[in-house]
């Protein structure tokens, strides 16, 4: 029986990690969040149980949602959760704005929330799951395999838009999940800290000229986000970028590149979106105790004068 199945069906407490790193504040007990994968069958039960709020976060325009979605799913595009903050073009909205957004989607602080997207937009599902954790939601599920796997399983799909009451979500920010630039800088190069960069090879190595400066934070390890999914499964029938590899395969992948549980792990990408997937894998699926996201990521770092490294870096994963 999978880890997520035990958590969903048996109601046992899934892994909830308190950050205890010397570089981060300990999370208060009531701020702990469980994030787990739900199979299509589990997601179908959740959607029809009345005990979960369902968020379809597929990008706008919402034609995919209109043409079919999980029962009782509310469409709230992943793009709605971020925007300009006066310094950077695309960052997570402040707690007050997020609270208003979630309330309008019918969500309150104590609700359990199931999130899904489809295909490569698994990154949107993981980003929203991370934002829900940051906002203090205690139980979050991600539909493993996305909408395509759900539909292929024969689970119920509807075109009916749900009627619901607005929620009452109070602004909350859980400390210790994100790390800012000034806190990050003195950690670069420390042997007990590893920086994981899940961007594509060209962006990581600096061959693609996208940003003000191109490359990566010195010493970072390139483990692309696709490498934790079935995006490149050699069996064409099993290819699915919204489905994660087994826990055993994921553990082996990260350990083989020196990303081990005793280290503080900082995940940095382009805007924080790609980083969210590996953050969830490392912290919630593998149980690494000290994992944080650099939300500013390369968008912020590239605009500074701090050192940049180009080339393959410390370790590269072949996709």
Which residues are catalytic, by number?
269
Q: How many CB atoms within 10 Å of residue 196? A: 22
Return d(Cα 79, Cα 273) in angstroms, integer: 11
Return d(Cα 32, Cα 16) in angstroms, integer: 6
* CB distance 77 to 166 below 8 Å: no
* CB distance 71 to 47 below 8 Å: yes
Enumerate the H helices of 135-268 as residue ranges.
Answer: 146-152, 181-184, 201-205, 247-255
Return d(Cα 97, Cα 318) in angstroms, integer: 39
Cα angle for residues 97, 101, 102 (degrees, 5° grid): 120
């Amino acid at each position: 029986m999978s880890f997520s199945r035990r958590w969903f069906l048996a109601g046992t407490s899934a892994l909830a990690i308190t950050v205890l790193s010397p570089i981060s504040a300990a999370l208060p007990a009531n701020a702990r969040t469980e994030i787990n994968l739900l199979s299509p069958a589990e997601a179908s039960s959740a959607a029809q149980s009345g005990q979960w709020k369902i968020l379809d976060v597929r990008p706008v325009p919402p034609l995919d949602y209109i043409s079919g979605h999980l029962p009782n799913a509310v469409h709230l595009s992943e793009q709605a959760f971020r925007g300009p903050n006066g310094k950077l073009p695309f960052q997570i909205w402040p707690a007050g704005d997020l609270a208003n957004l979630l309330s309008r989607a019918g969500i309150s602080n104590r609700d359990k929330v199931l999130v899904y997207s489809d295909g490569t937009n698994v990154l949107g599902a993981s980003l929203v799951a991370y934002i829900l954790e940051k906002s203090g939601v205690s139980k979050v599920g991600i539909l493993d395999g996305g909408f395509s796997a759900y539909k292929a399983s024969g689970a119920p799909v509807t075109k009916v838009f749900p009627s619901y009451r607005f929620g009452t979500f109070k602004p909350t920010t859980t400390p210790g999940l994100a790390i800012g630039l000034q806190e990050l800088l003195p950690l670069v190069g420390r042997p007990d800290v590893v920086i994981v960069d899940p961007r594509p090879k060209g962006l990581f190595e600096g061959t693609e000229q996208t940003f003000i400066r191109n490359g990566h934070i010195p010493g970072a390890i390139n483990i692309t986000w696709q490498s934790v999914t079935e995006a490149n499964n050699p069996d064409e029938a099993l290819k699915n970028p919204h489905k994660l590899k087994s826990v055993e395969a994921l553990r082996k992948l990260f350990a083989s590149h020196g990303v081990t549980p005793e280290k503080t792990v900082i995940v940095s990408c382009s805007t924080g979106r790609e980083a969210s997937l590996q953050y969830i894998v490392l912290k919630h699926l593998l149980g690494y105790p000290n994992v944080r996201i650099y939300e500013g990521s390369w968008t912020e770092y590239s605009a500074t004068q701090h050192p940049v490294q180009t080339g393959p870096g410390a370790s590269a994963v072949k996709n």
